[in-house]
Amino acid sequence: MIENSEAWFVRSGSGWTTSIRPRGPRGWLLSLAYAVAVALLANAASHAAGNWLPWVALLLALTMVYFVTMWRLSVFVPRKGGSK
């Protein structure tokens, strides 16, 4: 279990209303790295001729790695003001 001081992200809510936000510099850096990687992947895919399926597979794999990393490096914090 990750302690609050070690968390890269903060998670609140539950189910479809779960929100995960970067908590500190490492979380923001990981999010920036993901955004840059997606932009570079999209740029490479737009210049490559041929089948688009490998590019979609790479994008989905990158997104899954990012989401799993975000979830594993986050801590749950209850929302302020109670649940509605």
pTM assigned to the model: 0.80
How high is the pLDDT of residue 82?
57
| Domain positions in the chain | 4-76
Taking alpha carbons only, the member of 1, 6, 9, 14 closest to residue 79 is: 14
For 28-51, write each residue's pLDDT tens digit: 999 999 999 999 999 988 888 778
The H or E element containing residue 76 is strand 74-76
Look at the block and give the residue holding tokens 């840059």.
Answer: 36
Q: Tell me the torsion sign for CA atoms 5, 27, 65, 79.
A: positive
What is the residue-wise DSSP string for 44-79?
A: HHHH--S-SHHHHHHHHHHHHHHHHHHHHTEEE-PP
Percentage of the chain with pLDDT > 70? 90
Amino acid letter at 58? Answer: L
How high is the pLDDT of residue 3?
67
